[in-house]
A and B are shown apart, each in its own frame.
Chain A
Amino acid sequence: MKTYIEHTCHISSQTISVDGSVIFFDENNSIGNFLNLSYRHFCMEYPKFFKMDILSKLAFLTTELLLREVNINAIAKENIGIVLGNCSSSILSDLSHQESIQKTATHFPSPSVFVYTLPNIMMGEMSIRHGLSNENTLFINDDFSPEILENYTNYLINEHIIEYAISGWINAQSDSYEAFFYFVTPHSVNSLGNHDCENIEYLRSYRKEYHTQYLENIH
Chain B
Amino acid sequence: MEKEELIDNLKAQIIRQLNLDVDPDLINGESPIFKNSGLGLDSIDDLELVALLGRNYGIKVGYLEDIQKKFKTLNSLADFIIKESVEQT
Interface residues of A (CB under 8 A from B): 47-51, 108-112, 115
Contacts and interface: CB of A to CB of B under 8 A. Distances in A.
Interface string B51-67: 10011000000000000
A109 B50 CA distance: 11
Interface string B33-48: 0000001100011011
A111 B45 CA distance: 8
B25 to A, nearest CB: 17
Contacts of A109: 51
B7 interface: no
A110 B48 contact: yes
Interface of A is mostly: helix
A115 B44 contact: yes
B61 to A, nearest CB: 13
Nearest to A52: B19
A108 B19 contact: no
B40 A112 contact: no
Nearest to A50: B21
B44 A111 contact: yes
Contacts of A115: 44
A108 B49 CA distance: 12
B69 to A, nearest CB: 19
B12 interface: no
